[in-house]
Amino acid sequence: MLDHILSILIFFPALAAILGFIVHKDSMRAYGIIVATVEFVLSLWLWYSFDASISGMQFMEQANLIPAFGISYLLGVDGISLFIIIMASFFTMLGIATLTETRRIKDLIITLLFLQMTMIGVFAALDAILFYVFWELSLVPMLLIIGIWGGPLRIYASVKFFLYTFAGSLVMLVGMLFMAYFYYQATGQWSFSLLEWYRLILPENIQYWLFVAFFFGFAIKVPMFPFHTWLPYAHGQAPTIGSVILAAVLLKMGTYAFIRFSLPLFPDASVFFMYPVAILAIIMIIYTAMVAYAQKDIKQVVAYSSVSHMGVIVLGTFALNVEGITGSVFLMIAHGIVSGALFLLVGVIYDRRHTKLMSEFGGLAHVMPKYALIFGIMMMASVGLPLTINFVGEFLSLLGFYKQSHMMTLLAGTAIIVGAIYMLAAYKKAFFGDVTKEENKNLKDVNKTELLGLIPLTIIAIWLGIYPKPVLEPINNSVEAVVQLMHDKAISPEAKSTIPSIVKFETQEAH
């Protein structure tokens, strides 16, 4: 069974979703929770059976899909994708368990299970077309979640989300086809297998163009400045579950794809574009932090702060060294946990008051102490307080980029500290002071279902902040392999020197 565990992880939720059409709608929640829990246990089993000392792909599966055009069903995980897969199944489980939506709940759970299939598929696929299939397919469930269960502007928001991402990924598809064509020219065989593409060394000018084509697809998904405009709408209109999954998992597809595709396929172009991308990332960090400060809606604050932190992930990725990339992968997990939790927390208060405006709140700490405590911890984690999960990722990402540029890292670091201001200000407005509104006086504190979702997240946020090693080590191993591959593939001396070699000292020992 372990040979096919990835296929099972991908298709079990989809199969369950199809069978779910028959389940009665009153029992659908229980069904959804059971399916998602089984899936989560399976993903934990994957972690348990995962050999952390191996840097390459594990649990690989291969079957020919369209041999005439070199497309195959190729799956595998390494340390980079493993934890994102676990996080995806974890959040689907939490999301369904804490679901407060009652309207058309059966449709919602079926949609979520389909979404889960596509999410895990994206992170497990090692064939470019297979990756693209899941990548595109993930748009449909999210479109429906925002468009059916969203706020008043939901249709505009969902269509904007769909078209933006669809357009970007079609450019990426052309890039993939070019990549396959160059592979065909070099070897006489069509192939979309990522592992075979890794072996291909492309001339620099071709790398530049392909990097740009892939960049469009990924940058829109992340979303990087200036392609981020769909995200505030999507978050603003999406129901809580939609925002949680979007922030925790879907956005990670973009940053994950940078590490999986852009860096190892185009090392010279990555070096060439390192500063432009880093500048975009820093603009993203500073600009969205400022925008977040100006928001009146607490969910928009969380949404913009989430974009801001995605900037740190991109910055870490484009440090192009082990520390930076490891940090950015770790920060992907951390960002998922923290922003997912924050969106859940916003959902809690929205369910009670049906408003997200901060001016409507104030003094919530008096009436909802437990809620205020958890919110406080998560907010501290979000601003990167040491001993919380985000700190580890942010520190490593910045450390990585510090080796490339002191100035820019300082700028980004300052921005993160300044970022604390808007979060603290938002927290102060909503939680401290006197209870000014009559409606807020009798608000109920978090109930058991909500705690069920929030407590595990809080524990993880602190546990991995204090002791990140179990997660950091497998990531580090796989990232070292990626960086080494990049170093070996780089053509220009500039790229060779920018991307450090891991085995340098080992070869010296051999002499």
Partner 1 sequence: MLEAVNVSLASLNVATLVPMTIAVVGALAIIVIDLIKGGLDKSLYVMISMLFLLLDLGAVMGSAGVFAANGTQLGFFDVMLIDGLAILAQIVIVVASMMFIPLALTSKRFHEFSYPEFFALFLFMIAGFQFMVASDNLILIFVGLETASLALYPMIALHNRSKSFEAAVKYFTMGALAAGLFAFGSMVLYALTGSVEIHQIAAVLAADGYANMGYVLVGTVMLLASFAFKLSLVPFHTWTPDVYEGSSAALAGYMSIVPKIAGFVVAMRLFEFLIHSGVVWLEVILYAMVVITMTMANIWAIVQTDVKRMLAYSSVSHAGFVMSAVLIGTTQANTGLFLYWALFSFANLGAFTMLWVSRQKVLLPGQSSDHPFEKFSGMFQTSPIQATLMALFMLTLAGLPPFALFWGKLYLIGAAVSGGFTVLALIMALNSAVAGYYYLKLIVYMFMKEPLNEGQNYLVNASTSLKAIIGMAAVASIFLFLAVSPMIEFIGGFVYNSGY
Residue with smaller CB distance to partner 1, 175 or 419: 175
166 near partner 1, judged by CB under 8 A: yes
Rounded Cα–Cα distance for residues 383 and 425 (Å): 12
Residue with smaller CB distance to partner 1, 42 or 137: 137
136 near partner 1, judged by CB under 8 A: yes
Q: Which of 176, 172, 107 is nearest to 145 (CA)?
A: 107
Residue with smaller CB distance to partner 1, 148 or 451: 148
Rounded Cα–Cα distance for residues 307 and 314 (Å): 11
Coil/strand/helix, residue 227: coil
Residue with smaller CB distance to partner 1, 109 or 180: 180
Residue with smaller CB distance to partner 1, 182 or 350: 182
Token pair in block for residue 347 = 């959902």
Give the ranges where 354-405 is alpha helix by DSSP (H).
Answer: 364-367, 369-382, 389-402
What's the min distance (Å) between Cβ of 302 and partner 1? 25
What's the min distance (Å) between Cβ of 64 and partner 1? 7
Rounded Cα–Cα distance for residues 478 and 35 (Å): 30
Whether cis (ω within 30° of 0) applies to the bond prior to 267 is: no
Region binding partner 1 by CB under 8 A among candidate stretches 139-147, 291-299, 303-311, 315-323: 139-147
Coil/strand/helix, residue 354: coil
Residue 21: C-alpha distances to residues 189, 265, 293, 372, 486 (Å): 43, 42, 44, 39, 47
123: amino acid identity, one letter: F
Instruction: Pick one of 15, 137, 357, 462: the residue that binds partner 1 (CB under 8 A).
Output: 137
Instruction: Pick one of 57, 74, 86, 180: the residue that binds partner 1 (CB under 8 A).
Output: 180
Nearby residues of 509 by Cβ (< 8 Å), 6 or more positions away: none
What's the min distance (Å) between Cβ of 147 and partner 1? 4
20 near partner 1, judged by CB under 8 A: no
147 near partner 1, judged by CB under 8 A: yes
Binding map of partner 1 across residues 46-75, x = CB under 8 A, - = no contact: ------------------xxxxxx------
Rounded Cα–Cα distance for residues 257 and 120 (Å): 13
What's the min distance (Å) between Cβ of 227 and partner 1? 14
Rounded Cα–Cα distance for residues 486 and 483 (Å): 5
What's the min distance (Å) between Cβ of 233 and partner 1? 15
Binding site for partner 1 (CB under 8 A): 64-69, 129, 132-133, 136-137, 139-140, 143-144, 147-148, 154-155, 158-159, 162-163, 166-167, 170-171, 173-174, 177-178, 180-181, 184
